[in-house]
Amino acid sequence: MLISDLCKTDSVNANNVAVQVKVNGASHSHEVEPRTLLVHYLREDVGLTGTNVGCDTSSCGACTVHLNGESVKSCTVLAVQADEMEVTTIEGLANGDEMHPMQTCFMNNHALQCGYCTPGMVMASVSLLDENPNPTEAEVREGLEGNLCRCTGYHNIVKAVLDAAGGQK
């Protein structure tokens, strides 16, 4: 590999790929460059900016969405990998004006400070309870290890998830 290869100007790829993704229940069809990340597809092509880009290195979890019902980091998934799949973003949780129980529990427990990690934190929390409806506090902390809150507001986030788990019983 030559340095010049690494530094080559990225030209627009002629071999775009058609994708059809169901986002929050609505079908979207686009032609994308294969290298388009799912998070950029959601924000820029679908126009849903609730999903945040944090670290962009699959560490912080701010970009967490659900892919076919499971939490994933959308900065580390290509849009072409989501072709013919279902994506749920933070915008897809509420039922009209009625917040998702996890959103209500985050609000009631003051589980956000600056709010930047919150969309990803809520999506990861919903996925956590889908897989483990009655977690212990330790299981909640471990289950959210992929999400960083740089305000360090973890205690209230854990309380919110436990609150939501209790509410589901």
Partner 1 sequence: MIPVAFDYVRADSTESALSALAQHGDEAKLMAGGHSLLPMMKLRLAVPSVVVDIGRLSDLSYVRDGDDHLAIGALTRHRDVEMNSAIAEHAPLLQAATANVGDPQVRHRGTIGGSLAHADASADTPSALLALGGSLVVNGPNGERVIAGEDFFAGFLESVLEPTEMITEVRIPKHTGAGYSFQKFNRRAQDWAIVGVSAQRSDAGAKVALVSMHPTPVRATAVEEALNGGANATEAAELAAEGVSPSSDLNASVEYRQHLARVFTKRALVEAGF
Q: Using CB under 8 A as the criterion, which residues of the chain lie in contact with partner 1 when the complex forms?
A: 1, 5-6, 8, 10-13, 15, 17, 33-35, 37, 40, 56-59, 61, 64, 67, 70-73, 76-78, 80-81, 124, 127-128, 131, 142-143, 145-147
**Which H, E and C letters describe 51-90, residue by residue?**
CCCCCCCCCCCCCEEEECCEEEEHHHCEHHHHCCCEEECH
Report the chain's C-alpha Rg in angstroms: 17
| Smallest distance, partner 1 to C-beta of residue 98, A | 27
| Smallest distance, partner 1 to C-beta of residue 26, A | 23
Nearer to partner 1 (CB atom), residue 108 or residue 148 = 148
Distance CA(10)–CA(32), nearest Å, equals 15
For residue 128, the tally of other CB atoms under 10 A from its CB is 22
Phi-psi region of 110 (alpha: psi -120 to 50; beta: other; left: phi over 0): left
Nearer to partner 1 (CB atom), residue 13 or residue 107 = 13
| Smallest distance, partner 1 to C-beta of residue 88, A | 13
| Smallest distance, partner 1 to C-beta of residue 157, A | 14
